Structures are given as structure tokens and as C-alpha cells.
Chain A
């Protein structure tokens, strides 16, 4: 960090140590003459090299590697209001994740008593008082749409707050960074330890640290499978070696991914793997709240001493690099908005602390919209950041989001707990009986979505003179209606025979199923009665 050019704008190029080494001549040269960002120099090295003096052998300075080696992030501990909020969100999200499967919910003797359960084996999805059947998967689709819109809503209102606080990658990375701090010490100690040769002490520390990583990862994978089976039973089965292979495989995979992504890849997931920041950059505008370095206030940078010697010549930024040291993704926020910034605001905490120490006002780095930044830079009055949340776009997102939720709740409230599907036999379509009447056979599926057995009446409607019987009720008892008991929370498959007198023509008619209880719920399905010569 030697190149201090006072004319540099806040959108100046990133300066990583590795890059600086390879590019020293080109970068220095290019910047000095054109104030051009390094990125364009990387994309078009020829353009930059052309500016060299002719006697210089130009190709010597071509980089042999076009990617920058990762520099490990050792972020420093910081305390502050955003850090405390981050702690709070981390605690809440982890608690929800680990504890939810253990919440019980009494659904009576015929249904599982786990509050949130994805019962793949029986194809049911339980969420507290709501039970979703496979044919109602649109509710899950609705939830996913709500989740997507929710992300849009959050992004338009408070920028990348999801990334900074609630994203699982952030939460677990944060957790693992605390483990680092707990075992290896804070930033400087960790850097020293990383540089030190592998001795017994380092080995012991690493083993201890990775063990904690593994325990957390295992817990994470273990909690995941709890959502798919009765949690207490699964825990017992798991340790007894009796759980389903899928359970073990899932735990192993999630343990390894958590261990790798949370323990080692960390900010690389956010910067290189995650598509969401790319989408977000397209979703944000000058009215979105962002973590912003107020360069008009901070630049030019200078130490407290320099500022005291030359009053009015330096900005508020004293270049203490605390904002960089605390950043979990290792970026320098003073270089402007960038993909690497997850808006966790720890740099705000760090900067506020420094400003308080040297007696300057807080907020050199702060949550602000680009629009407000511009106003502030021009000395115009600005609004409170809270007001940035309420604007047409966020309100529109919120209305769409909320109306989907309401529509789903309404649909859940009025849905029928009885269902009927009918498939007529096609081979043969009809049977001529010896008395001249015609018989058709159907497979009926009676759905009872309540967790108690229910008696249901099946009736044939709109087929004059028709009688029906089923596979368990003989033809002697043929009648216009039949009664079946459908077991709790199940689909009963019934083979039904419908017989119509001679001379009946091929026609449409209905099966109606009605529950014989106080609800009298019913479902009707149209089907067809085939007769000889009636082929269409």
C-alpha cells in the first residue's frame, strides 16, 4: 500500500499485494498517466503496454498468470451495534435450524407429531397445523416464489442484508471464524500461526480446530436429516446403525460440504460461486441502502498528525485499515460498491470505533443510498436511511409478496379435505352382461386428508337407472350409492362397477363422494359411461 495518489477517486482499482507485485510497472505507469482501473489493464494488456517507452522490452511485463492467488482472510474481532445484530441473527437462525425438528405438534393418533416434517416415505409435508399432500405441491411452489420475492424485497429495501446476516453461508462462516478466533487467537495471532512452520503446537491447534469444525459440520448435517423423519427415533436409529442409507449419505455429504464451504472456502463462495450477488447487482439502484464509504468526507487520507499539521488539507479517513481488517470477505470498502461486499457492516462498526477514538463524527462508512451520498456530498439535506425502505418498488414487492401469502393462506383455509379421482377401465371399455345391461368398471381413488378415518358415500349421478357395486361389496348389493371407510390420512383405491340398463347410450356422468360426518365435504369427478356402438 505505497501508492498514495491524492487525486485518486474512491472508485480506484483494488490493490492486492500479489497483483501489485506482478503489475508494478504497468500499474504504476498506467495509473499515473491515465488514472485507469487495473481491471481494464488486465483485460487489455496491449493497450497498457503501448504506453511504455519504446526502449523497454514490452512483453517482459506480461503476467504469466491471469488469476490472482487467494489471500487468506484473517478478519479481526470487532464489537459494535452491527456486530451485535449479527450475533443476534446468527443465534436466531442457528436456533431455528437446529431446534425446529424437535418441536412436537399433536395431530392425533394417525399422524406424526413432529411440527415440521418432510415425510418423503408417505409423501406428506407437515408444517405445524398445515399438511401438504403431493397434489398440493403448488403450495411449496408458492413458498418458493415467496422466498424469491422476499429476497427481492429485502434487496430493494436494505441492499444485500440477506447476504450479510441471514445467508447460511454467512452464518456458518461467521461461526467458523469465531472458532478460529477461539482456538488460534485474533487476527495477528492467526497470521503468525499461519506463517509459522508446522510444529507440535501448531499441529495440536490445527487438529483441535478442525475437530471443532467437524463437530459443527456433523451437527449441521445431522440436523438436516431430522426434518425428514421423526427426530428422536432417527437419532436412536442413527446411532444404532439402523437408519436409512440416505440418512447416512446425507449426513456425510452435508458434513463435508459444511466443513469445506464454511471452514475453508468462505468468502470465495460469496464472490465466485454464488449467483445471487450477480443478480443483486442488477436489482439494486441508487435508492438501495448500501454500506458506503463517504469518500468526499474521507479523502484525501492522512494521519491524525498530518491533519493537525495541515488543517483543512486532509479528509477524515486516517487510513488505519481497520475496515479492511475486520472484513470477513477481505475487501476494502473504500474502493466503492463491489461484488465482494456482503453488507455485513462490520466495517461500519470498526470505522465508528476509530472515529470515536480520534474524536471525529461517526458514519464515515455507513449505510446510505447512493442518491443520499450524492446529496450529502453536495451539501444537500438527506433523509433517514430508514426512509429508504419505503419507496414504490419495495412497497410493490411487499404487496405482491403479501398477496401471494394471503392467497395461499386463503386457499389452505377453504381447501376440501376430501378428494376423488376416477380412471375408467379402457380394456375393455364396456362389458355386455347376460341380461343385456352394460357394465363399466372404474378405479376410484378416495382421498381422506384428515387424520381420522372417515366414512364416505360414493354416488353415481346423472346416469339414469345405473347401479354400482365395488370390489368388496357384491353385485347383489348393487345400489345407486355405496359407502366406504377411508383410513385416516390416506387414499383408498376402490374398484367400482357401474351397471346401466340395456339401451343406455354412451354418456358423461359424475361420481360424487361425500363425507358422512358433520362437514359433509364432497368432491365430484366427471367420467364417461361406454356402451356398445357408442365409440367415439
Chain B
């Protein structure tokens, strides 16, 4: 520390450096500033003792308070679960077909179903549940149901899946491939007949005959479909795999058949119930009331 001296006018020591005649006064730090610094140091030591701080090889030091962000999250989640318990218990108790009668509980179920849908279902059916024609995932917003669109039928589909391997009660439908069964004219005739069912093309006698012989067993004489077998309606405007003659022909010769995983065992019954309510609420589930009030159908849905 060379050349330290007292600055005459102020009585303060200089730091001892000089830059082109300019000197700096060695003014001490303000006291409050120093005390703030010391306080932060003390606080830092306390913090290191109380909270997780030093990173070690596998984990950090734990801190005497035992606090961790994961622990805090778990706590918060358990609080949320606690708050949901009543609703979930009520949902577990109520038979699903009677859920719409309790509009508040139904609203909660739909809300819960909406978030579960985004986690488990949106990958195939899309976040708006609109499905995909290109990939063959059905639109859940419409009123066309292969297996029935009431709450019970939807729940059954969710629980057991469609063509889910290893599930005895799964929904199972088989459309045989007609590769080689029809010649080119026959194929055109039957395709036109199928299109004629919804007024998309003129029919011919041979096409009608071929349809009656080969298709009406499952799809019905007028193409009304059969939910028992999962045979789709052919006389409506909704075509899961497309309605062009080419798409129809491909479907007749070498049918694509969708599959859906079963959710029993993966999701708890209450979540499945909520998901069913959500899917039902999307605008196509309005048939439920009639179906539910008809005990015969209800029995049919129970395998």
C-alpha cells in the first residue's frame, strides 16, 4: 500500500493509487451495508443447516428440517387427494347409469374425466376426442357407436377394451377378408350397393343380392349395423375408414379393424366411470336415457 495519505479537505485516508492526478478516498463501507452482508452470511449458514444444500454423489445433504421439494409435492398431492375423496367415494357408490340424475356429481365426473382423457385417451382419439379417419380412430363426439353409446356400454368398452389381447370379456368383432371372393364386377356391384344404402350411389340387383348373401348377416339387410357384433352401420353418413369406393373396396377385401386397450387394472374404476361420463357428455351420448330405461338392453350389455 504505497503512498497512503490523508486527504486534507475531507480528513479521509486515500487508497494510495493515483490515476492522472485523480485519487480515490478510502471511504469505509456504510455500516448498515456491512451489517446486511454479515446478516446474509449468518442466514446462509443457518440455511445450509436447515435445508438441503450440499450436492453429494447421489443426493444432497438433507438438512435438519427434513424438507424437500418432492416431499412438499407429495404432501400437496395428498391434500388434493383428500379433498377429492368424498367425490370419489360418491362416484364409486352410484351406479353409472344414474349418474346424470345428480347434476353436480355428474359435472365433477365430467371434469375429472376430461383431465383423465387428456392423459390416457387423447393419444389416439385426439385432445378434442375427434378421432382420426386416416388412422381409424373413431370420433367420440358424434352419435355413431359401434358398440353402443350409453354410459354402461361406454364403461364396458373402457374396462374391457376392443380386441384387447388376454381379456376374456373384450369386445370382439371380426370382419372376414373377401380377398378372392369377388371378381372385379362383383366387387364394384357390392361396393355400389353399400354406398347406395346411404344414397351415395345407385344400386344394382346383383349388388343387392351379393350384399344379402355376404354382408347382411352382420350389417343387417338395410345396413343398419349390429351393436352386438360391433358391426358398423352402413346406411349413415359416418365412415370410420372413409367413404370413397376405393376405401370401401379396400375395407371389403382386407378389412382394417380397430383395437383399443382395456383399462381395467390400469385405471381405477372411479376414473373409468369419470372417463365414461366425459365421453358420454361429448354430445353423442344422448341415447343413453332410452337405453338405460330399457332393462332388456341393459341386460344385453352385461356379458
> What is the interface of chain A, defined by CB distance below 8 A to chain B?
59-60, 62, 64, 425-428, 431-436, 439, 441, 471-472, 474-476, 497, 502
Instruction: Say how far B284's CB is from chain A's closest CB, in angstroms.
Output: 8
Contacts of B126 in A (CB 8 A): 427-428
Q: Are B9 and A436 in contact (CB under 8 A)?
A: no
Say if the beta carbon of B16 comes within 8 Å of chain A.
Answer: no
A60 to B8, CA, bound (A): 10
Q: Are A434 and B283 in contact (CB under 8 A)?
A: no
A436: nearest chain-B partner, CB-CB: B237
A60 to B10, CA, bound (A): 10
Q: Are A432 and B286 in contact (CB under 8 A)?
A: no
Q: Are A431 and B237 in contact (CB under 8 A)?
A: no
Q: Are A431 and B10 in contact (CB under 8 A)?
A: no
Say if the beta carbon of B228 comes within 8 Å of chain A.
Answer: no
Q: Are B143 and A433 in contact (CB under 8 A)?
A: yes
Contacts of B233 in A (CB 8 A): 434
Contacts of B198 in A (CB 8 A): 436
Given A441-B283, A476-B286, check contact A432 B9 (CB 8 Å): no
A306 to B284, CA, bound (A): 105
Q: Are A427 and B130 in contact (CB under 8 A)?
A: yes
Q: Are A497 and B237 in contact (CB under 8 A)?
A: no
Q: Are A431 and B236 in contact (CB under 8 A)?
A: no
Q: Are B9 and A434 in contact (CB under 8 A)?
A: no
Instruction: Say how far A431's CB is from chain B's closest CB, in angstroms.
Output: 4
Contact with A along B217-242 (1 / 0, CB 8 A): 00000000000000001001110000
Instruction: Say how far A474's CB is from chain B's closest CB, in angstroms.
Output: 5
Contacts of B286 in A (CB 8 A): 474-476
Contacts of A428 in B (CB 8 A): 126, 128, 130, 139, 141
Contacts of A432 in B (CB 8 A): 139, 142, 237-238
A436 to B281, CA, bound (A): 21
Say if the beta carbon of B264 comes within 8 Å of chain A.
Answer: no
Q: Are A427 and B128 in contact (CB under 8 A)?
A: yes
Q: B130: which of A431, A433, A475, A497 is its contact (CB, 8 Å)?
A: A431
Q: Are B142 and A431 in contact (CB under 8 A)?
A: yes
A472 to B126, CA, bound (A): 25
Q: A428-B126, A428-B141, A434-B142 are in contact. List 15 more A-B contacts (CB 8 A).
A: A62-B9, A64-B10, A426-B128, A427-B127, A431-B141, A431-B283, A432-B139, A432-B142, A433-B143, A435-B237, A436-B198, A439-B142, A439-B283, A476-B286, A502-B237
Say if the beta carbon of B155 comes within 8 Å of chain A.
Answer: no
Say if the beta carbon of B144 comes within 8 Å of chain A.
Answer: yes
B107: nearest chain-A partner, CB-CB: A471
Say if the beta carbon of B103 comes within 8 Å of chain A.
Answer: yes
Contacts of B283 in A (CB 8 A): 431, 439, 441, 497
Q: Are B237 and A433 in contact (CB under 8 A)?
A: yes
Q: Which of B122-149 contact A (CB under 8 A)?
A: 126-128, 130, 139, 141-144
Which of B141, B236, B281, B284 is the most central at the interface, judged by chain A CB atoms within 10 Å of its CB? B141
Say if the beta carbon of B201 comes within 8 Å of chain A.
Answer: no
Q: B9: which of A59, A472, A474, A497 is its contact (CB, 8 Å)?
A: A59
Q: Are A474 and B130 in contact (CB under 8 A)?
A: no
A433 to B283, CA, bound (A): 10
Contacts of B284 in A (CB 8 A): 431
Instruction: Say how far B115's CB is from chain A's closest CB, in angstroms.
Output: 15
A476 to B126, CA, bound (A): 28
Q: Are A435 and B236 in contact (CB under 8 A)?
A: yes
Instruction: Say how far A323's CB is from chain B's closest CB, in angstroms.
Output: 39
A438 to B125, CA, bound (A): 19
CB pairs A–B below 8 angstroms (13 shown): A426-B128, A431-B139, A431-B141, A432-B142, A432-B238, A433-B143, A434-B143, A434-B233, A439-B283, A471-B281, A474-B289, A497-B283, A502-B237
Which of B198, B237, B283 is the most central at the interface, judged by chain A CB atoms within 10 Å of its CB? B283
Which of A59, A428, A441, A475 is the most central at the interface, judged by chain B CB atoms within 10 Å of its CB? A428
Contacts of A474 in B (CB 8 A): 286, 289
The 10 lowest CB-CB distance pairs between A and B, nearest first, are A427-B128, A434-B236, A428-B130, A436-B237, A475-B286, A434-B144, A431-B141, A428-B128, A59-B9, A434-B238
Given A434-B238, A435-B237, check contact A472 B130 (CB 8 Å): no
A432 to B142, CA, bound (A): 7
Contacts of B281 in A (CB 8 A): 471
B235: nearest chain-A partner, CB-CB: A434
B198: nearest chain-A partner, CB-CB: A436
Q: Are B128 and A425 in contact (CB under 8 A)?
A: yes
Instruction: Say how far A57's CB is from chain B's closest CB, in angstroms.
Output: 10
Contact with A along B24-44 (1 / 0, CB 8 A): 000000000000000000000
Contacts of A439 in B (CB 8 A): 141-142, 283
A76 to B236, CA, bound (A): 95
A425 to B130, CA, bound (A): 12
Q: Are A434 and B237 in contact (CB under 8 A)?
A: yes
B9: nearest chain-A partner, CB-CB: A59
A153 to B214, CA, bound (A): 92
B290: nearest chain-A partner, CB-CB: A476
A64 to B286, CA, bound (A): 87
Contact with A along B182-208 (1 / 0, CB 8 A): 000000000000000010000000000
Contacts of A441 in B (CB 8 A): 141, 283
B129: nearest chain-A partner, CB-CB: A428
Instruction: Say how far A261's CB is from chain B's closest CB, in angstroms.
Output: 22
Q: Which of B92-138 contact A (CB under 8 A)?
A: 103, 126-128, 130
A426 to B9, CA, bound (A): 77
Contacts of B143 in A (CB 8 A): 433-434
Contacts of B236 in A (CB 8 A): 434-436
Contacts of A497 in B (CB 8 A): 283
Instruction: Say how far B20's CB is from chain A's closest CB, in angstroms.
Output: 21
Contact with A along B257-274 (1 / 0, CB 8 A): 000000000000000000
A497 to B285, CA, bound (A): 13
Contact with A along B1-18 (1 / 0, CB 8 A): 000000001100000000
A437: nearest chain-B partner, CB-CB: B237
Instruction: Say how far A52's CB is from chain B's closest CB, in angstroms.
Output: 15
Contacts of B127 in A (CB 8 A): 427
Instruction: Say how far B108's CB is from chain A's closest CB, in angstroms.
Output: 14
A426 to B126, CA, bound (A): 13
Instruction: Say how far A430's CB is from chain B's closest CB, in angstroms.
Output: 9
Contacts of A433 in B (CB 8 A): 142-144, 237-238
A431 to B284, CA, bound (A): 10
Instruction: Say how far A533's CB is from chain B's closest CB, in angstroms.
Output: 14
A476 to B139, CA, bound (A): 21
Which of A64, A428, A431, A476 is the most central at the interface, judged by chain B CB atoms within 10 Å of its CB? A431
Instruction: Say how far A470's CB is from chain B's closest CB, in angstroms.
Output: 11
A428 to B140, CA, bound (A): 11
A497 to B286, CA, bound (A): 12
Contacts of A426 in B (CB 8 A): 128
